[in-house]
Amino acid sequence: METSRKLRRAAYILGIVVLILLVAYGALAWSLYSSSGSFSTAEAEYPAPRIGELIWPTVGYPAMVTPGGLLEIELDLRDVAGERVQAEDVSGWRVVMKPSRQVLAGLAYTLVPTGAQRAVSDRWPEGTRFGKPDAVWHASFRVPAEVVPELYDLHVEVEASGRLVSDSQPHAVSVTTDDDDSFTFVSLADIHVHRRDISGRMQQQTDKGISPEGRPVYFENAIEQVNLIRPDFVVLLGDFVRAQHEPGDYQVEFEEFYRALEGFEVPVFAVPGNHDVYVNEVDGARVWEENLGPLYYSFDVGGCHFTCVDTNQWPVGDRTVMKKLGMFVYPKKWQGQVLEAGDEGDPSTYEGQLAWMREDLAANRDSPLKFVLLHHCPFTPDGEGISYDNERFAGVVSLGGNGKGRDALKKLASTYDVDIVLSGHLHQDNVGSAPWADGGGETVYANQTCVYYDEGGIQEKYPGYRLFKIVGGRVESFTYVDGVHSIPFYDGSSLGGKTDLDQLDRPALSARRVEGVETATLQWEVESYLAIPMEVKGLIAVLPGDGGERYDVRGGEIYQEVLVGNPGRVVLYVKTEVEKGKPGIDASIPGTPARKDVTVVQTGAGPGSGLTYGTVIYLPYMLSSSGKKVLSRAE
């Protein structure tokens, strides 16, 4: 009798305790979920806008042109008179292209204007910073036939409403001779430039690859490998910064990201990810438009079409980072969302970006290859599009998600015969496919791993990139070895296994300039741990010369030669192919790299004869480019 009373009493107490725990858990959950967090947007400081009057081309949405072709630019001159009225009398166009590459300083091309008119922007579907413009200035210019195939900064001057307006954009124009349907590009996702000092907090973050000064060394190393490959262009699939801890993170990280961007020697097309448009105290979408370009747009290369989509269409209040109980920090909505489908299964009901996308894809239906670039894949890994799902804390508390639009995106891809959809966000490689509505083919959905080291430690992923080889308007290859994975940036990365990210330090592809070799000789040691042969086109060197020199090249070939100054310097573009290496099976056990020695020896006469190698290296930095006659010679 006594025992049974004790048991009843114990059960009663246990019940009370469970009830208290449930109430406490519910209160905690509610406090995590309900309020908008403690990051104020009131005192926000924005980076100074880098996009002014010249609204296209931009650093994140460059122009691809051919020698002798036309460059069409867009200018928004509405703030010239301070009245937000488009300037009417515009004259005295002066447009100059200067190579972004330091060693070509001295080359400059002044373009000949061929016409200007006011019209709705072709490049900013939602309009510029002042809203949707009814008319911006479109001006076209003839690109000189002798222009060197390179990446250029663009400088524009114009007289508008009696005032001289001048503006510029770095890395805005790429001149390529590859106007056929064969080209290469590299895709990178989830760079997440972050502050070094946030490691070890609630949200773990490795410090690997961040210098004591805060420079994203791991990103710079990735850029170095991309520059060695020298693809025709790069696409960035979103999440360039971290911006998820304290107020001020965003601005610092964005500045570091933008600075690192200038290290690319090829043009970059950028697509926004959730971290880029996050708010902890600024509106990242505004920062994007003021510094990189439009949030969505399209472009063409070699007759192939690329549609870039913004999958972060949450209201600004939802694109907010929350801080709870002084320790929990997370974004409210970081999953994908694309708005304005009346009925996702019926494209005729689409408005806004989706309607623009429908028209863009319809207009380019006959393009031999159609890519859609976005951050949140509507499909992966097995068709469910988990990047649009809701996420829950402890399986109970909604952390935000349940985004709209994944079915609409899939519908557009299948209706308009999209060949490939590229995405990031999940930090994982996976490849799937879905048939086109007309049965004539399928859309490949390729999600890819990140560039950064994630949280560090042992992970089922590694920093990597995809390299697309397009031959004759068809994708020849885009995966590494197994049809799924990305090319690793470091030796010792394990495909499909586990990789100790903290141990990665051997670049999978590298080229070292050999010092102390003979007079007027250049030598590189190219090394690859990769299990595939790699074409390396980014061996760039400078020799003194006047263009009369001859070179003997071993292990590679000179594919472009540019004379800067007269007499001055010769910039040589050398390419080679390195055979496949033997990758290390583990980050701590190095593989055996394939090596290729590339040597350039000056054989014919020229002012370089007799100069030492040291002179050769430093000469370009000692030469003044001003006042010299500039010649260029390119294949």
Q: Which residue is nearest to Fe ion (CB)?
A: 425
Considering only the stretches 36-44, 116-124, 238-246, 501-509, report the one whose residues sit in contact with Fe ion under the rule CB under 5 A.
Answer: 238-246
H/E stretch holding 510 reads: strand 509-513
Q: Say whether residue 401 binds Fe ion (CB under 5 A).
A: no
Q: Which two tokens stand for residue 521?
A: 């000789």
Candidates 55-63, 208-216, 423-431, 623-631 — which segment interacts with Fe ion by CB under 5 A? Answer: 423-431
Nearer residue to Fe ion within complex by CB, 133 or 401: 401
385 — alpha (psi -120 to 50), left (phi > 0) or beta?
left
380 contributes a contact to Fe ion by CB under 5 A:
no
Q: 156 vs 450, which CB is nearer to Fe ion?
A: 450
> CA-to-CA distance for 243 and 198, rounded, in angstroms?
11
Give the binding-site size for Fe ion (rule: CB under 5 A): 4
Segment near Fe ion (CB under 5 A); pick from 109-117, 148-156, 237-245, 388-396: 237-245
Q: Decide: is 273 part of the binding site for Fe ion (CB under 5 A).
A: yes
Report the nearest approach of Fe ion to the CB of residue 318 (Å). 15
The least CB distance from residue 385 to Fe ion, in Å, is 14
Sole residue written with tokens 């900013």: 124
HSE of 255, CA atoms in CB hemisphere, 13 A: 12
Min CB(451)–Fe ion separation in Å: 12
Smallest separation (angstroms) from Fe ion to the CB of 444: 21
319 binds Fe ion (CB under 5 A): no
Q: How far is the CB of 239 from Fe ion (least distance, A)?
A: 4
Angle at 278 between CA 273 and CA 280, to 5 degrees: 160
Nearest approach in angstroms of CB 191 to Fe ion is 11
Cβ distance to Fe ion smaller for residue 134 or 455: 455
CB of 379 to Fe ion, least distance (A): 16
Q: Where are the alpha helices (DSSP H) in 330-461?
A: 352-363, 406-415
CA distances to 35, 158, 399, 548 from 317, rounded to whole Å, are: 11, 39, 14, 64
Distances (CA, A) of 9 to 1, 18, 21, 23, 245: 13, 14, 18, 21, 47
Q: Which is nearer to Fe ion, 331 or 347 (CB)?
A: 331
Q: Which of 53, 167, 239, 429 binds Fe ion (CB under 5 A)?
A: 239
Instruction: Establish if 274 lies at the interface with Fe ion (CB under 5 A).
Output: yes
Q: Which of 418, 423, 466, 424 is CA-nearest to residue 443?
A: 418
Query: Least Å distance between CB 491 and Fe ion?
Result: 27
Residue number with CB closer to Fe ion (216 or 606): 216
Residue 461 is a binding residue for Fe ion (CB under 5 A): no
Output the CA–CA distances (angstroms, integers) from residue 18 to 4, 13, 359, 393, 565, in the order listed. Answer: 21, 9, 57, 20, 82
User: In this structure, what is the dihedral angle of CA atoms 205, 211, 217, 219, given to the nearest 10 degrees?
Assistant: 40
Give the type of residue at 542.
V
Q: How far apart are CA 133 and CA 44, in angstroms?
A: 26
Window contacting Fe ion (CB under 5 A); options: 38-46, 266-274, 363-371, 566-574: 266-274
Shortest Å distance, C-beta 275 to Fe ion:
6
425 belongs to the binding site for Fe ion (CB under 5 A): yes
Contact footprint for Fe ion (CB under 5 A):
239, 273-274, 425
